[in-house]
Amino acid sequence: MAPQIIALLGSPRPKGNTAKLMEEAVRGIRDAGCRVEVVSVPRLKLSSCKEIFYCQNHADCGMKDDVTPFFEKFREIDGLIIATPVMTMGIPGALKSFMDRFQVFFMAKYIRKEPLVSPAKKKHRKTLLLSIGGLNIEDDFDGVIASTKAFCDIIDCRYWDAVLQNNMDEIIDITTRPEVMKAAYDKGFRMGELITLDMAKNLPE
């Protein structure tokens, strides 16, 4: 069975630079034989976490909206792509709210000690981060990377690699940086290869 990947687009611009970069990574991972579901997070109807703590005792969220189906999907995926611009030195609101709702996984893993991801699946799951930032500063991606790594730990989908491009206020169009577009494709393809190989190693004899 082909590896199942979800690609989260955090940008509100469906044809913007972040989306273009993600398209290359998705093309690469599909060429590696994976199936990909692309999700435009800003288009989902969702609420931010209300800390009602329903998930402290349940493997689900007490709030029901467009995030609800993803709790089950994230238990079964083999890999994840997160594509996001930097906004206020961090992850933009819709995507951050989506990620925060995965307290469902946090409570299961760290409070009840009953992780929602099986040990076998955890072995091969990987995440690729794609991000663009407007400023030409050294720490432009620190907030995005920190939040992504925390999310990856919570959902047991290891942070594997990243493609990062800052100075976009000057560059304007990501397609004028073919080396960056190629890096997104190559890393998407390589992640797909590695997931497929790792899944094959862990097949029951």
CA 173 to CA 201: how far, in whole Å? 41
The pLDDT of residue 201? 86
The pLDDT of residue 202? 75
Are 145 and 134 spatial neighbours (Cβ–Cβ below 8 Å)? Answer: no
The pLDDT of residue 68? 97
For 200, counting Cβ atoms within 10 Å of its Cβ (0-12 exposed, 13-18 middle, 19+ buried), the class is exposed
The whole-chain average pLDDT of the chain stands at 96
The pLDDT of residue 79? 98
pTM: 0.96
- C-alpha distance from residue 130 to each of 110, 113, 171 (Å): 28, 31, 17
- C-alpha distance from residue 173 to each of 127, 190, 200 (Å): 25, 25, 39
Per-domain residue ranges of the chain: 4-201
Successive 10-residue mean pLDDT values, the chain, 205 residues? 96 96 98 98 97 95 97 98 97 98 98 96 97 96 98 98 98 98 98 96 68
Are 128 and 32 spatial neighbours (Cβ–Cβ below 8 Å)? Answer: no
The pLDDT of residue 204? 59
Question: Which class would CATH give 4-201?
Answer: alpha beta
